[in-house]
Amino acid sequence: MGGFILIDRFTNTTVAAGLLHFALRRAENIHWQAVEVDKNARAGLKGQRPALVWFTGLSGAGKSTIANLVEKKLHLQGFHTYMLDGDNVRHGLNKDLGFTEADRVENIRRVAEVAKLMVDGGLIVLASFISPFRAERQLARDLMGEEEFIEVYVDTPLAVYAKARRGELPHFTGIDSPYEPPESPELHLDASGTVPAETSAELVIVHLRQAGILTAPSEG
Amino acid sequence: MGGFILIDRFTNTTVAAGLLHFALRRAENIHWQAVEVDKNARAGLKGQRPALVWFTGLSGAGKSTIANLVEKKLHLQGFHTYMLDGDNVRHGLNKDLGFTEADRVENIRRVAEVAKLMVDGGLIVLASFISPFRAERQLARDLMGEEEFIEVYVDTPLAVYAKARRGELPHFTGIDSPYEPPESPELHLDASGTVPAETSAELVIVHLRQAGILTAPSEG
């Protein structure tokens, strides 16, 4: 591409300016017009298979801690991620929603839809939400393509859960409502406190690698 | 990282298997724990400055055509983009919204919030919406950081607009409601039909380059 200006030969002032568009390389244009910028193209540029990694579990179980560690590890390996959680969703997109059951369901529905757009954008999306209902996690799963949804159950053992419900663990919030554990999550993490978050994060990475998420389709 | 197995020396059966986590390179760990995966980190990985490029203009003016061309050009140059438009938003995230004025405003509000999340993810987001009200475009601008919002006015000259309002151009839809033209868009494109969409797209690219969007901060 080149620029040009037109100068009046009598007054010597610039009367016009413009850009030359491919005047000398028309043949090159034909190639790119055939390219479709779709999910595959966007993911291919990033060297990964896009997916939604959905962390579910009780408040305080360690979902966000583990998800954050996973994001750090993926980022350092050059993968393109995004983390969706209450922090960046409740204050923006979903700030019109409260905490009634209907609003909680709508909260998760919108998160799932946004995640779908981001997966379409080629990203590996990490979502960290209590998401207590099977139906809402199923909704998220159904929105995604085959093998694009990875449910990670951050499992607080019943004993810890019971303590929390009795109010003995004040940092556990929001468990006055029921939690329906996943029946067949892609990954089941022990959040009893005996397994370090670092190890749990590494297990997620191993799973993502085995699932083919961390290899570009063209490299597979 | 390495794997190991434990074999019982009497029965010769495998009794345990596991993964070694950085046992021999603890010093390396210290580095990555300090890394914050934030907007800068995600954008840096992509070699770009994230931004929201907002195409506004009447229906039929060519917003999506130009935005699509811009995305193709950016993608082929290795930049990481995502396109938000009625197609991928109205059928998913915003499928609960109708076309009352309140719903149209909520439609744009959610789009802007999603764009903000994607910009936080380091992407160059192209949004193509009629977005007829100055207030809603201002809302989108206000959500973004300094110099992250680029308003591109795809300007249909008044004569074409008038024809459309008289119903003489049947492919023009949704202009029975008023359109408030941008007062100081970052870029003003002539959509009268005399400038090819290809040229308009190139003008957007030139603007993005001049604005420093297409250069990683570290390369700047």
What's the ipTM? 0.80
Give catalytic status of residue B131 as yes or no: yes
Token code pair at residue B86: 């009625």
Name the nearest CA neighbour of A55 among A215, A186, A214: A186
DSSP state of B7: E
Nearest to A193 by CA among A61, A58, A56: A61
d(CA B51, CA B13): 58
- Distance from the first to the final alpha carbon of chain B: 36
pLDDT of B153-207, one tens digit each?
A: 999 876 666 666 666 655 554 456 688 999 999 999 998 888 999 999 999 999 9
> Rounded to an integer, what distance in angstroms lies between the CA atom of residue A30 and that of residue B219?
31
Residue located via tokens 């949704």: B174
By a Cβ cutoff of 8 Å, what residues of chain A touch chain B?
1, 19, 21, 32-33, 35, 37, 41-42, 45-46, 68, 71-73, 75-76, 78, 80-84, 88-89, 92-93, 110, 113-114, 116-118, 120-123, 143, 198-199, 202, 206
Q: Cβ separation of B113 and A92 shorter than 8 Å?
A: yes
Residues of chain B that touch chain A, judged by Cβ-Cβ distance less than 8 Å: 1, 19, 21, 32-33, 35, 37, 41-42, 45-46, 68, 71-73, 75-76, 78, 80-84, 88-89, 92-93, 110, 113-114, 116-118, 120-123, 143, 198-199, 202-203, 206
Number of C-alpha atoms within 13 angstroms, CB side, residue A133? 13
Q: What is the pTM of this model?
A: 0.80
Quote the radius of gyration of chain A (alpha carbons, Å).
Answer: 24
Could you say which of A81, A110, A113 has the minimum Cβ distance to residue B37? A81
B120 contacts B162 by C-beta, under 8 angstroms: no
Q: Are the C-beta atoms of A39 and A138 separated by less than 8 Å? A: no
Q: Could you list the mean pLDDT of each consecutive 10-residue stretch along chain B, which spans 220 residues?
A: 54 55 43 72 95 94 95 96 94 93 93 98 97 95 94 84 64 64 95 90 97 68
CB-based contact A103:B145 (threshold 8 Å): no
State the average pLDDT for chain A.
83
List pLDDT tens digits, range B23-32.
444 444 444 4
How many residues comprise chain A?
220
